[in-house]
């Protein structure tokens, strides 16, 4: 029975400023690099056969710390990129709420019905998550221990898939920077063992949404 470790990237300046990043390709900041190293130390006791990462820089920088600590390569996948927020990317919550009040209301309370301006729906992004799982299992089989480094939105969607949670309950799942959520792959069925483990960090963490 294999294990799947879903790991969110470390902190970026946009996380700190409560801005929507989406598919803006931003690096980790100093705190994010420290978080990634602490995550790698936490994962040291766990057996890992393969590491996959979103192709975005902040995820690859996080995955690189884990890969170096294990002397393993990592594979990057476009399927694991964060959700595209279209015209909202780079903007703060207050500005988005002022300019798109109805859309923000849907985003927060009815995400399954949310349609971003020039962006990607949660349903479309979740289909990417499903395809990413299929791709990884096709390469690795179902008995390997696999670390997957990606993004807050993507990990929530992966957890919704595994648990059968409706997309309108998406925001009931917390996913902190560098948190680790663990799935067991039991005969092709994904079972959630733990979610949002980040108590290995040396300082308190915030639940940055995106």
Annotated active-site residue in 82, 89, 103, 120:
82
Sort strands 74-77 and 50-54 into parallel, antiparallel or unpaired: parallel
Cβ atoms of residues 202 and 37 within 8 Å:
no
Q: Pick from 41, 20, 4: which is nearest to 129 by CA?
A: 4
**Exposed / middle / buried, residue 124 (Cβ in 10 Å: 0-12, 13-18, 19+):** exposed
**Left, alpha or beta for 71 (phi > 0: left; psi -120 to 50: alpha)?**
left
Residue 120, by phi and psi: left (phi above 0), alpha (psi -120 to 50) or beta? beta
d(CA 153, CA 87): 17
> Is 18 a residue of the active site?
no
Q: Is residue 9 annotated as part of the catalytic site, yes or no? A: yes
Residues marked active site are found at 9, 82
């Amino acid at each position: 029975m294999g294990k799947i470790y879903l790991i969110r990237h470390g902190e970026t300046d946009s996380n700190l400023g409560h801005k929507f990043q989406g598919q803006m390709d931003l690096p980790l900041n100093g705190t994010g690099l420290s978080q990634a190293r602490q995550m790698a130390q936490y994962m040291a006791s766990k057996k890992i056969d393969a590491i996959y990462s979103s192709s975005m820089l902040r995820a690859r920088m996080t995955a690189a710390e884990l890969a170096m600590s294990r002397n393993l390569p990592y594979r990057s996948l476009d399927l694991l990129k964060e959700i595209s927020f279209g015209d909202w990317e780079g903007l703060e919550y207050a500005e988005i709420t002022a300019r798109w009040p109805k859309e923000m209301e849907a985003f927060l309370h009815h995400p399954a019905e949310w349609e971003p301006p020039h962006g990607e729906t949660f349903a479309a992004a979740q289909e990417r998550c499903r395809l990413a799982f299929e791709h990884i299992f096709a390469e690795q089989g179902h008995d390997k221990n696999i670390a997957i480094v990606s993004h807050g939105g993507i990990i929530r969607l992966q957890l919704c898939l595994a648990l059968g949670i409706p997309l309108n309950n998406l925001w009931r799942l917390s996913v902190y920077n560098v948190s680790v959520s663990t799935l067991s792959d039991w005969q092709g069925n994904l079972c959630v063992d733990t979610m949002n483990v980040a108590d290995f960090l040396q300082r308190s963490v915030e639940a940055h949404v995106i």
